[in-house]
Amino acid sequence: MATKYVFVTGGVVSSLGKGIAAASIGALFESHGLKVTMMKCDPYINVDPGTMSPFQHGEVYVTDDGAETDLDLGHYERFTNVVTTKKSNITTGRVYQAVIEKERRGDFLGSTVQVIPHITDEIKAAIRAVADDADVVIVEIGGTVGDIESLPFLEAIRQFRQDCGRGNAVNVHVTLVPYLKATDELKTKPTQHSVKELLSIGIQPDVLLCRTDRHLPEEMRRKIALFCNVEERAVIQARTVDTIYEVPLRFASEGIDSILLEMLNLPRGQRDLSKWQAIVEGLKNPRQTVRIGIVGKYVSLADSYKSLNEALLHGGLANGAKVELVYIDSEKLEDGSFPEDISTVDGILVPGGFGTRGIEGMIRAIEYARVNRVPYFGICLGMQTATIEFARHVCGLEGANSSEFSADTPYKIIYKLRELVGVNAMGGTMRLGKYACQLKPGSKAWQAYRADTVWDRHRHRYEVNPDYVAILEQHGLAITGRSPDRVFVEVIEIPDHPYFLACQCHPELKSKPFAPHPLFVSFVKAALVHQEARVAADTAAGIATQDTPGDTVAVATEGGNVAAKNPAIATAEVVTEGPSKVAVEAFCA
């Protein structure tokens, strides 16, 4: 069977959710037993997004083989069984770089190198290269139809359909049907103009995904079908939903999988969407709620931490809990005060990042978590700042820092990777991709993974200085994860803390709703235990205010110590009575 291709484009405005739409289509193909692979074509001139600001581009998604790619690849991996690679994301910059290198080698001797055919041929070759043995290749074209940057990619997919035949490729166009409050009506004109723009370059969409925040009436579908030259059944309502994991179910109810299978002459399998139904049910009907504080540098744009946000939701799903994300700007912690939010969260997480801005705020948040015994989870930079905090405030190494933040620090607890000393180029010069980590048996990390050796993805330029490992360990910091060659510190923990764990890797990049990453499952579980203990202590304190000083309050909870917050309570005795059980009993003299 010939490989089939689905090209996903977007019109009217950006941020319509092409990536989620493409990933959902991939999930539906897989539910019919087909093997799918996915690809993103980005029109910007950067070779990759590795040097771009998260505020402009969102997170950088790292693949197993070390590619720094667009965040939509995260959606592909979370929704499907696809494991993306360097081949899965190309940019205008990478395409032109490849063509120019060929020209310099003399591959085009005698020819004038042009956008057509040389650039478009390079794009088509990249699309074919990702196919391997897949039944269906889904290719998302970044940007918005009408942008000058995306024209070479659109021309390439126009040619591609001609090359492989109309029964082997279809075009899916994601467009917007806006609602005007003033007239209380949905408007189809933007969709009509977007399709007209596609038609002007020779692409006739086969399916329209109409993004709307309300029901799309049948008469409006008929109108769109008529003016856009699309079958009425292929005008699909892509309505805003409560959770992105509901999109495959909504698309299935609209019959998009049946339409695409028919257009591509693919066999229809015994569709099974039970796992998606279970995920949506779990997200919509949690048994409890937990608040996680994310103390970071890029919190004003949620997409900067897209995979992290999703991984926390997955961890909550595994624990039957809704995770409320509380974003705390680390810069705002540098003025010596703590926002009220930090005292109301059940766990604190410091994610990755680069540069000096907001670092001292992160260190203050980590100190707060350590001293107040609040569950803490550090990722990449969050491990490095946790190590600095411990060195300063527990080991007594005043002024300890990272050479990234201070070149003249007396104690370089964190320093540049040894193989990168003298390397000043920024793009692609980090420790990137999947690396092994050997865990210490019995540690919290080992208990989470239940494995001696684990593999996770990395993206860092700095590491823990091994010269300081001995003094850190002497003061109670446990190194519970190392690279197999013992060169890199991969995981740190504080054993006498209810939950204080930080890792150099980016575990969020491997988490899926139906396979949550173990570290996020264990962190959310610890946050729930902390919440349980805090509620018990608050309840005990409330009871005790009615009695005299010197009263003893016994608090039964699952794990952790409960410190009475009311000075009227002389002592608080903690009794463990089994999972999820909280009992408070006041003994009054």
Report strand pairing: 36-42 vs 136-141: parallel
Alpha helix stretches (DSSP H) within 330-430: 340-344, 359-371, 381-393
Residue 585 has pLDDT above 90, yes or no: no
Give the range among 69-83, 405-419, 517-531 with minimum mean pLDDT. Answer: 405-419
- At 583 the pLDDT is 32
Residue 55, sorted as left (phi over 0), alpha (psi -120 to 50) or beta, turns out to be alpha
Nearest one of 256, 252, 253, 216 to 234, comparing CA atoms: 256
- Residue 380 a catalytic site member: yes
E-only strand ranges, 71-221:
89-91, 136-141, 169-176, 179-180, 185-186, 207-212
- At 445 the pLDDT is 98
Cα–Cα distance between 400 and 367 in angstroms, integer?
14
- At 338 the pLDDT is 85
DSSP symbols for 303-357? GGGHHHHHHHHHHHHHTTEEEEEEEEEGGGGTTS---HHHHH-SEEEE----SST
Classify 464 as helix, strand or coil.
Answer: strand
Residue 157 has pLDDT above 70, yes or no: yes
Q: What is the mean pLDDT of residues 444-464?
A: 96
Determine contact, residues 212/224, Cβ cutoff 8 Å. no
- At 427 the pLDDT is 73
Catalytic hit among 228, 380, 503, 505: 380
Catalytic hit among 140, 508, 517, 532: 508
- With 0-12 CB in 10 A as exposed, 13-18 as middle and 19+ as buried, what is 169? buried
Residue ranges of the chain that CATH labels 3.40.50.880: 286-415+461-481+489-527
- Residue 508 a catalytic site member: yes
Q: What is the mean pLDDT of residues 516-525?
A: 98
**Which architecture, in CATH terms, is 4-278?**
3-Layer(aba) Sandwich (3.40)
Residue 148 has pLDDT above 90, yes or no: yes
- At 137 the pLDDT is 98
Q: What is the mean pLDDT of residues 567-575?
A: 34
- Domain 286-415+461-481+489-527: what homologous superfamily? Class I glutamine amidotransferase (GATase) domain (3.40.50.880)
Determine contact, residues 99/91, Cβ cutoff 8 Å. no
- At 417 the pLDDT is 86
Could you identify the residue written with the tokens 């049948």? 218
Cβ neighbour number for residue 117 with a 10 Å cutoff: 14
Q: What is the mean pLDDT of residues 344-350?
A: 97
- Residue 210 a catalytic site member: no
Residue ranges of the chain that CATH labels 3.40.50.300: 4-278
Query: Alpha carbon of 46 to those of 16, 65, 153, 192, 298: distances in Å?
Result: 22, 19, 15, 32, 21
Confidence of residue 110 (pLDDT cuts 50, 70, 90): confident
- At 301 the pLDDT is 86
User: What is the model's pTM?
Assistant: 0.89
Cα–Cα distance between 162 and 479 in angstroms, integer?
58
Report strand pairing: 235-239 vs 179-180: unpaired
Give yes or no for a cis peptide into 498 (omega within 30° of 0).
Answer: no
**110-116-121-126 Cα dihedral, nearest 10 degrees:** 130
Confidence of residue 151 (pLDDT cuts 50, 70, 90): very high
Catalytic hit among 32, 118, 314, 506: 506
Cα–Cα distance between 174 and 222 in angstroms, integer?
17
Nearest one of 401, 400, 393 to 475, comparing CA atoms: 393
- At 422 the pLDDT is 64
Residue percentage of the chain with pLDDT more than 90: 82
